C-alpha cells in the first residue's frame, strides 16, 4: 500500500468510522462506507495538491459517500431536526435549512389551533413535556403524543408544498415547489 494511503488510514480511519457509524447506525454499513471512502481516496489521491487541503478533501469524500448511501436507501427516513449536525469544517451555508424553517414558521398557522399551541410551546419556547403537560392539563405522554402529531401534520403540509432533496445529515440541499399556485413560501420555492 502506498505510504500516503497508509498515513491517511492510520490518521483518519478510526475517526471516520466513528463518525460514519453515528450517522448510519449499522456497523456493517459503516464499514462498507469506510471502505468505499478509502477506495475513492486511493483512486483520487493525486488530485490533492497540498497537504493542508487533505483533511477537508477527506471529509468531503466522507460526506458525499454517506449522502450516496442514503440516496440508495430511500426508505430510510431523515429527521429534519438534525439540521446543523455535519462534519467538521462543513459549511452550513451550502444548505437551505434557514429558508425552509421560515416557511415552516408560516405553515404552523395552517395547523388546527391545538397543534399550533403545542408546537409553539415545545419548539419555539423550548418547554419540556412536563411543563407542557401541566400547562395543557394533559399527561406527559399526552404532551409527547400531541407534539408528535403536530410535527407529523406540519410535515404533511410541507410535503404538499414542495419536494425536497436532503443530505445524509438531514440538511435540505434543494427543493422544488410542487404547485406554482402555492403561496406558502412567498414563491421562494424553485
> For residue 165, which phi and psi values (nearest 5 degrees)?
-115, 125
What is the pTM assigned to this prediction? 0.46
**Interval 153-166: pLDDT, tens:** 988 888 888 887 77
Helix (H) or strand (E) holding 189: none
C-alpha to C-alpha distance for 137 and 104, rounded to whole angstroms: 27
Question: Do the domain assignments include residue 124?
Answer: yes
Highest-confidence segment of 20-24, 81-85, 180-184: 20-24
Which range, of 31-35, 55-59, 89-93, 99-103, averages the lowest pLDDT? 89-93
**Interval 89-106: pLDDT, tens:** 444 445 677 777 777 777
Residues 119 and 169 occupy one common structural domain = yes
Residue the block writes with cell 405553515: 107
Residues 140 and 173 occupy one common structural domain = yes
| Domain endpoint, select from 72, 100, 125 | 72
Distances (CA, A) of 134 to 98, 128, 139: 32, 10, 8
Question: Do the domain assignments include residue 123?
Answer: yes
pLDDT of residue 35: 92
> Which residues neighbour 100 within 8 Å (Cβ) at sequence distance 6 or greater?
80, 158, 164, 172, 175
Amino acid at each position: 500500500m502506498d505510504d500516503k494511503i497508509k498515513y491517511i488510514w492510520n490518521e483518519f480511519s478510526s475517526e471516520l468510522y466513528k463518525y460514519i457509524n453515528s450517522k448510519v447506525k449499522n456497523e456493517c454499513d459503516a464499514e462498507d462506507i469506510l471502505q468505499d471512502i478509502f477506495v475513492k481516496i486511493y483512486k483520487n489521491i493525486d488530485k490533492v495538491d497540498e497537504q493542508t487541503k487533505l483533511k477537508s478533501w477527506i471529509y468531503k469524500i466522507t460526506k458525499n459517500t454517506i449522502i450516496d448511501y442514503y440516496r440508495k436507501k430511500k426508505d430510510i427516513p431523515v429527521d429534519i431536526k438534525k439540521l446543523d449536525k455535519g462534519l467538521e469544517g462543513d459549511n452550513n451555508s451550502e444548505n437551505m435549512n434557514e429558508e425552509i424553517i421560515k416557511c415552516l414558521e408560516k405553515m404552523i398557522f395552517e395547523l388546527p389551533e391545538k397543534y399550533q399551541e403545542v408546537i409553539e410551546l415545545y419548539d419555539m419556547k423550548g418547554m419540556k413535556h412536563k411543563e407542557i403537560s401541566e400547562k395543557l392539563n394533559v399527561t406527559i405522554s399526552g404532551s409527547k403524543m400531541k407534539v408528535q402529531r403536530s410535527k407529523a401534520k406540519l410535515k404533511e403540509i410541507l410535503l404538499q408544498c414542495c419536494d425536497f432533496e436532503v443530505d445524509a445529515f438531514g440538511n435540505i440541499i434543494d427543493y422544488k415547489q410542487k404547485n406554482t399556485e402555492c403561496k406558502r413560501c412567498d414563491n421562494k420555492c424553485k
